Structure 1
Amino acid sequence: MRSFTLFLTLFMMILISGCGDNKKKEASESEESVQQESAQAQEDKVILMFGDSLTAGYGLEEQEAFPAILQRKIDSLGLAYKVVNAGLSGETTSGGRNRIDWVLKQNVDVFVLELGANDGLRGIPLSETRKNLQEIIDFVRAENPDVEIVLAGMQIPPNMGQNYTSEFKNIFPELAEKNKVHLIPFLLEDVAGNPDLNQQDGIHPTAEGHRILAENVWEVLKPIVQE
């Protein structure tokens, strides 16, 4: 338990402090990547992964991050889906809300929303985090009412107080139930706190860790893409 709590504490600190320095550069690269991948995906349905450093694959080659692993799994099954990685290190729910408009300048069939951890580190009011996530969900549905939305749950360490920590964790299942979207209970399940599955910073998953993240996402994504 102490190991897991320490992991979460370090995790929240690194998400912003370790990743924020390159945010402008990554934002530009992310936008260019999304546009390029969108052009390549015109004949396929699109799965858009919208998140922070976990989705971006911080510290790894692009092909080692869980979105790329999911693409290979989808290709092996002969499914006509293109996975677009729109992860941005250091991203908050507010930042995500502000950039969602250009990201959705393409048709999206499945939208995977993985944001919120950086809000927890900054102690952003829970009402604001909830509001931003809700607005992102609303915007995505307004653009395409038929889109399937997957919300990735996250947890934070108790340094903000037990009430804040507990209520933060509850944001994700509550939003999922309210909006009738699919939920990944905890993206880092079976990875958090395991030094063998995290990089030297003790926070970001290794390539092997990302394979487990891919399985956590796939458990929810599989029935959607195989319908």
Structure 2
Amino acid sequence: MVRFTRQNFLKVFMTAFSGFFLFLGSGYVQKTVSAQQAITPSTGKVGLVGIAIKQEENTGRLIVETVFPNSPAAAAGVSEGDIIVAINNVPTQRMTPEEAGSLLRGHPNTPVTLAMERAGTQQAYKISPNRELVSGEVALFGVSIRQEEGTGSLIVETVFPNSPAAGVGVSRGDIIEAINGQSTKGMSPERAGELLRGQPDTEVALRLRQPTSRRVLEVETRRAILNLNE
């Protein structure tokens, strides 16, 4: 078993994808987006709204899972559980998290219009916050993942440099078979993201299968704090 503890911050900006954890305006991280898929290195600056979303299984609705403190969304009064009805006047019905992320992210100080429905009520409201570089820290494993069509397997799409995943030898194309002892068979990327993220410096264990050699790799590492604004 290999252990890796990351102490330094990784420079990142959120882009559409990961989530499950999905960062709106970034896209958390593909049927749904997991947190891991939300984090992508960038040479430019990406403006975000400052919320994490999840896609409701039965209805497909996009739901606000987290509102980051001091974000444009927080300032506009968005609450956890609110339903995203439209983005820039485009209805979110049948919209994938990737598509939502591509609409939400953009250059800092540019506006994005969200039509929302208040959680637990039929109250509708509309906001047009400016995208900003959102402050906040999230503990992640350091990969983006996608779900393979046909098999439903969760595949490592990207391994971020200097991340915990890179430190324990995870490679692009590896198949994730289990997370923290839980099989990924039938698991959505959203659920995988929930298992991969957590408190800083907490352990996460994965079983992976390398696509060419079929060799099984068991890794155990610690989630890293990613400074989203550094």
TM-score, length basis structure 1: 0.26
The structure where strand makes up a greater share of residues is 2
- Which structure has the greater CA radius of gyration? 2
TM-score, length basis structure 2: 0.25
The structure where helix makes up a greater share of residues is 1
